[in-house]
Chain A
Amino acid sequence: MEQQNELSFDTLVIGGGIAGSEAAINLANLDYKVILVEKDLSLGGKMIHLSKVFPTLDCSACITTPKVSETIRHPNITIYTYSEVKNIVKVSDKKFTATLVKKPRYVNEDLCTGCQECEDKCPVVVKDQYQYDLVGRKAVYVPFSIANPRVVNIDIENCILCGICEKVCPVDAIDFTQEAVEIPLTVKSVIIATGFELFDPTQILRYGFGKFKNVVTAMQMERQLVPTRPYNSVLRPKDGKMPDNIAYILCTGSRDETVGNPICSQICCMYSVKQAQLLLGALPMADVSIYCMDIRAFGKGFCEFYQQSIGMGVEFHKGKVAKVTEKENGNLILRYENIENGKITEVEHDLVVLSIGVLPNPEAKLLFNSPVIESDEFNYIKQTDELVCPPQTNIEGVYVAGTSSGPMDIPDSILSAGAASACSANYIRN
């Protein structure tokens, strides 16, 4: 592995999603030098992949892309994408060391223009993780149309090393000899903004995800509703038919002891209510039903947004779905206890959306070598002074922003990032 000279900054922000970008911009505006490290190929985290966001129904990409571009252009922010940090050590007060690992893209970022000639010619097709497996992508690819940086990357695991990309690249940017580069790093403070993971619904066998094609996750539905949607319409996967009777199963993987996640994911009620509203717009003839234990519309404007969905005709049924079975035509039978009348009920829908919950990103903990960063019983980063200094962790100088400390919606993530940057600035200053 190649070694490079040490880099030195005021603050290391780990994670380039909305919380990380917000924290970095705040600090940069206070004149601190920030290094932002993102392990994925581009910035924007999960938010850049969303359609419209509750409760204002703003286009998510339209809020995220300018934020991303502000982050990238800010003179006080240095960005490393497709890079990771490890071995964070607190050496002394206001001095942390770490190792930055820049993973090989097998593409020279400075040369690549994002023309996608190579992508066009690449013979390999695999599932596109950024479209949540709804469609395919090539082995050499730009992650998604509004990705920033907009350069290609070679998925070396799936690449067959045919060399076509190298031949067609007009600027000779393809470089199979690239290796990971390790760069020693010194900073004065650290902000953890590593975000969350989504619950894997294959764990709940009785909902049939992965087996019944017309059972999709809410993230897959989200991708069908975004401006850059793959089918330019909402289609059910089994037969490409436009669904007209859609069901949402809430608390899939949340408030559920059986999957080890007893807590509430805080966002699924509202994103489901939002998707239901968008679906009524996209498919005016369709019916949308939401099966839930409760609807947790607690934030500013949320309850009004929930009431609006009732007014639009979204149906809410109180009851946790016990089981989903598939009919021959691909339709699905949901079995649940209708709490309002106490009856076991079976209903048929032609598309089922699982409102999957939020899980901690377990990698956040592993970045720290000494001292060890403490986490709570669910593996979220532990807030050691939740009331008076919410971003504070067990290590002075290390602060937490966004969903690294627990489930959170976008407005709350942004506020927590603002708080983390304020604490970080103070730590460095005093």
Chain B
Amino acid sequence: MEEKRNIGVYICQCGSNISDYVDVEKVREEVAKINHVSISKTTMFACADATQNEIVQDIQENNLDAIVVASCSPKLHLDTFKNVAERAGLNPYNYVQVNIREQCSWAHSDKPVQATEKAIQLVKAGIARAGYSEALIKTKISAENVVVVVGAGVSGMRSAIELADLGSYVYLIEREYFVGGRVAQWGELFTTNETGKETIRRLYNKLMEYKNITLFTGAEIISNTGTVGNFDIQVKIRPRYIKPGCKVDPEKLQKVIDACPVEIPDVFNFNLTTCKAIYKNFESEFPEIPAIDPEHCTRCGECEKLCDDIDLGQKDEFVNIKAGAILINTGYDPYEPKTGEFGYKEIENVITLPQLKRLIELSGKELIYKNKKIHNIGYIYCVGSRQKDGENKYCSRYCCTSTIYTSIVIKNKYKDIHNFHFDKSIRTYGKLELLYREASENGDIFLQFWDEDPPVVSRNGNGTVVSIKDMLSSGKELEVDCDLVVLVTGMVPRQDNKIADILKAPLGRDKFFNEIHPKLRPVETVIDGVLISGACQGPKNISESVKSSLSAASKANSLVKKGEIELKPTIAFIDKNACVWCDECLKACPFDAIIKVQSDGKDVAEIVEAKCKGGGMCLPVCPENAINLKGYTDNEMEAMITALAD
């Protein structure tokens, strides 16, 4: 490749982010001396529209064949300036970004002289690289206008409806036998007072109107072999053991359920009750037909005797789906306290917030737990969130409001109940503050503990006592008799999160799915075509989850609707003459982007272009040096090293 002879260099001040510590004018003077540099300028904000236009003009008027912008991290603005090059008619891969902000001014703010020196070297290296940069052409691949939505909770159902409305075909895949996720388990919801069941019914009825949505329940993605535009997904659908055409007769169903001899803890009620192996969690649950839990069913056949619609001979089914994009909406699990954590599982009247919410749903006119009418409830906040010593450093966001709202529901529903809140400072942000006010006006007592001094739950004769050193009364040691202690458990990532491995979608430090950037690309992951929304991304309330799922739906649709997707050309390529197929590259690639093919009678490696992310892991392990990375060729790298060593 011939060296570029006509390079434009722009040194950004980034307001003063860079120029406070790096002498940008000196950098410009130094690089202006390099032969091939025909234009060198400093600029207040290289990313500002005016500067962008100036660069376009410079490229066109001076026939520049490469440009270098020394500014911030390429993570932020590589694409911005590639677009600038493209607008000017220059191949975007003849653009090189040098990071003199994070790597010079911010890292060496105590040593401005050396920071400037480093900046000069880095920019020189960037110019050397630009000299060997090659024009690369993006490849286009076809894309299916099909989106797989994983998880049919409120967020997933909402995404599916939106995508279908926008014209994509949607496969909605739900692991449970019924849709609705967590929301189906809740009663009245803040702030609309609609119940969870009602919300889910509304969404389900809407969902059923669409011909371009296929819903699979009891289904899981078990593998994926494709990439963006053409994901190749295999779905396993567990049998429901009920014939699809079953018209449910509630009375008959009850008889069948009564006949089932298997009794298991009911996870829908967070083990507060038991259920049978054939079950339906509530009458208006969707899909309407019940399910038999294959894990616990003993195949005794009692149910089959009573109902012709039961078919214990059903087998697992497998479905293959081609999809352009995948939207993960798998939600969260409630934190499960450890045995003994605030008396959980050791003291009988200690339950979790989700259990309390189910208890309200299961209770009649009085709130009764273990045959005792409840009078005093103590809520202990931040169980499993904002942990001082544990792993969960994050705040679970929804639980303060959810607890306070539940305490209000309790006050409205039952007489003579007193609520005592043992909190770590209440986070009812925004308009939710009004609920906090309402609870206070209801006479709820709020007590606050220090991080390092959490409340203690202990038995006291027949009762249970919560002791606290209360910050709001300047550290008074107080004891409250509670006949129900509710642990306000936060959100944790799904315990069974196989989907993350299957799709190689990255998790953050908090183990929730991680977006590329919370402000720039909040619903996309680094895996092209794999999007995330709802609480699988981090704690969110319903409204916030739905906002993100709507946002993700429109992003997914705009990705696949055109029928083709452009791929980055910065991928590996193999010199087939040099390759001896030792399979080292295959082992090094985390994206399964290398396959073995025959070429001229020998085995050689080949790159699957749609899968290669240009990670470069294969390059150093190749003993024959047969692999190169477009945009990062040996020529470019060697030129940079030479410039740096100069």
Contact = CB atoms under 8 A, between A and B. Distances in A.
Interface stretch (A186-194, A363-371, A388-396): A388-396
A406 B548 CA distance: 17
A430 interface: yes
Contact of A303 (B394, B522, B546): B394
Interface string A406-426: 111011101111110111011
B17 interface: yes
28 contacts: A26-B558, A30-B558, A53-B519, A59-B14, A62-B14, A66-B80, A145-B15, A146-B48, A262-B434, A264-B431, A294-B427, A296-B425, A296-B427, A299-B397, A300-B512, A301-B394, A304-B509, A341-B475, A386-B191, A387-B192, A388-B158, A391-B547, A414-B522, A415-B547, A418-B551, A418-B554, A422-B550, A429-B167
A45 to B, nearest CB: 13
Given A30-B558, A303-B394, A418-B523, A342 B430 contact: no
A61 interface: yes
A297 interface: yes
B429 A266 contact: yes
Contacts of B395: 297-299, 302-303
B642 interface: no
Interface in A38-87: 53, 56, 58-59, 61-63, 65-66, 68-69, 72-73
Interface of A: 26, 29-30, 53, 56, 58-59, 61-63, 65-66, 68-69, 72-73, 114, 145-146, 148, 150, 226-229, 232, 255, 262-266, 293-304, 307, 318, 339-343, 376, 378, 380, 383, 385-391, 406-408, 410-412, 414-419, 421-423, 425-426, 429-430
B474 A342 contact: yes
Interface string B512-553: 100001111011000000000000011100111011101111
Contacts of B544: 412, 415
Contact of A300 (B14, B20, B427, B537): B537
A155 B543 CA distance: 42
Given A410-B519, A422-B553, A415 B48 contact: no
Contacts of A340: 471, 474-475
A148 B49 contact: yes
Contacts, number: 221
A374 to B, nearest CB: 15
Given A62-B76, A68-B49, A298-B429, A307 B522 contact: no
B16 interface: yes
A64 B430 CA distance: 24
Contacts of A416: 547, 551
B417 interface: no
B47 A415 contact: no
Given A59-B17, A387-B189, A411 B546 contact: no
A415 B166 contact: no
A387 B542 contact: yes
B165 interface: yes
Contacts of A429: 165-167
A145 B474 CA distance: 50
Contacts of A342: 473-475
A262 B48 contact: no
B304 to A, nearest CB: 39
Interface string B414-446: 000000000001111111111001000000000
Nearest to B550: A419
A389 B518 contact: no
A380 B437 CA distance: 19
A38 to B, nearest CB: 15
Interface pairs A-B: 9 shortest CB-CB: A227-B15, A418-B551, A342-B474, A419-B550, A294-B425, A422-B554, A69-B49, A300-B538, A303-B395
B628 interface: no
A423 B52 contact: no
B114 interface: no
Q: Which of A61, A68, A296, A388 has the most CB of B within 10 A?
A: A388
B199 interface: yes
B229 to A, nearest CB: 17
A363 B386 CA distance: 40
B125 interface: no
Given A264-B432, A294-B425, A426 B166 contact: yes
A422 B518 CA distance: 19
B394 A304 contact: yes
Nearest to A149: B49
A59 B72 contact: yes
Nearest to B551: A418
B45 interface: yes
A63 B47 CA distance: 9
A339 B450 CA distance: 12
Interface string B556-588: 011001000000000000000000000000000
A318 B471 contact: yes
B50 A114 contact: yes
A297 to B, nearest CB: 6
B518 A65 contact: no
Contacts of B518: 56, 300-301, 411
A62 B77 CA distance: 9
A262 B522 contact: no
B65 interface: no
A55 B305 CA distance: 61
Contacts of B166: 30, 422, 425-426, 429
B474 A264 contact: no
A390 B397 contact: no
A232 B21 CA distance: 12
Given A69-B52, A146-B48, A227-B15, A386 B192 contact: yes
Q: Which of A69, A150, A229 has the most CB of B within 10 A?
A: A69
A93 B166 CA distance: 18
Contacts of B16: 227-229, 232
B550 A66 contact: no
Contacts of B76: 58, 62-63
A58 B519 contact: yes
Contacts of B430: 263-266, 406-408
Contacts of A387: 154, 189, 192, 194, 199, 542-543, 546
A388 B72 contact: no
B555 interface: yes
B45 A146 contact: yes
